[in-house]
Amino acid sequence: MPRLDAHQHFWKFDPVRDSWITEDMAAIRRNFGPEDLQPVLQQHGFDGCVLVQSAEPEHENEYLLEQAAKHDFIKGVVGWVDFFSETLEERLAHYASFEKLKGFRYILQGAEDRALMLRTEFKQGIRKLQPYGFTYDVLIYPDQLKYAELLVAAFPNQPFVLDHMAKPYIKEGQIDEWKRDINALAKHENVSCKVSGMVTEADWKSWMKEDFTPYMDAVVEAFGTGRLLYGSDWPVCLVAATYGEVLGIAQDYFSAFSQNEQEAVFGGNAARFYNLS
């Protein structure tokens, strides 16, 4: 069973384009590429990773696909397309020729219209993914989970994966409403969930492993180990933890599970979801 990190990023830092990387995130206000990540993956026994978009202009896909073509350890790419574009169909046809382009993501978490994903045009875009076998990564905050549930319900044959557990309010210790909405979303069998992005939702300076346990308990209870994908969210995670610390949180938690379940969470589920060779 391959050991895979299902969520990481590369970028050539641009202070305008990457304005989400604020001054207090100094640790990641620089370039990050394959030469930075590969030794870290090897050190921690990973066979490969899934490279996820972090910027919206479509030409960023070219950079990501270029890196994937050069480096074997990048097993798949999740790119960006404009789901509201009239040329979406032809863009998807174009990307279908890239073996490592596995799916797409749209930055919904920052949308002014919190229910943007339910607009007719957006849903028409989602409908176009399945014929090409593309997946969709759902990037949202907890207040959008109820809309995400309506979206995934409308496309029962489309594979969706929830990024970062919808970024629960770990720092504030809020869990009840998020947990209720996670349970509702998980009832749809076409949805998986990434166990990722937790440290950045906690207190960056003073988090403890126990802070994350109730949230991991909730996603295991909701999705089961068959629909959970471990992801580091490197290098974003570096604002709050090292790669090893992030991995340690998940490894310690899942150490009580069977070998088969651990292999599924730390690679098998990602390989299946993204159809990685």
Tens of pLDDT along 36-66? Answer: 999 999 999 999 999 999 998 899 999 999 9
Residue 100's pLDDT is what?
Answer: 98
Query: What confidence category does residue 126 fall into, taking pLDDT thresholds of 50, 70 and 90?
Result: very high
The string of pLDDT tens digits covering residues 152-184 is 999 999 999 999 999 999 999 999 999 999 999
Residue 57's pLDDT is what?
Answer: 85
Cα–Cα–Cα angle for 225, 226, 232, rounded to 5 degrees? 65
- 160 vs 184: CA distance, rounded Å: 14
Phi-psi region of 197 (alpha: psi -120 to 50; beta: other; left: phi over 0): left
Residue 42's pLDDT is what?
Answer: 98
Residue 16's pLDDT is what?
Answer: 87
Residue 277's pLDDT is what?
Answer: 82
The string of pLDDT tens digits covering residues 127-142 is 999 999 999 999 999 9
Residue 259's pLDDT is what?
Answer: 98
Q: What value does the mean pLDDT of the chain take? A: 97
What are the distances in angstroms from CA 168 to CA 78, 113, 165, 192, 212? 22, 20, 7, 16, 10
Of 3.90.470.10, 3.30.70.660, 3.40.50.300, 3.20.20.140, which CATH number belongs to 4-273? 3.20.20.140
Whether this prediction's pTM lies above 0.95 is answered by: yes
Structural Rg of the chain based on CA atoms: 17
**End-to-end CA gap in the chain:** 12
Q: What are the beta bridge partners of residue 193?
A: 162, 228
Residue 118's pLDDT is what?
Answer: 98
Residue 23's pLDDT is what?
Answer: 87
Query: Domain residue spans in the chain?
Result: 4-273
Q: What is the mean pLDDT of residues 257-274?
A: 98
The string of pLDDT tens digits covering residues 206-222 is 999 999 999 999 999 99
What are the distances in angstroms from CA 45 to CA 2, 28, 108, 225, 239? 10, 24, 33, 21, 23
Q: What are the beta bridge partners of residue 194?
A: 229
* 86-90 long-range Cβ contacts below 8 angstroms, 24+ apart: 88/125, 88/128, 89/128
* DSSP per-residue codes, 28-68: GSS-B-HHHHHHHHHHTT--EEEEE--S-STTHHHHHHHHH
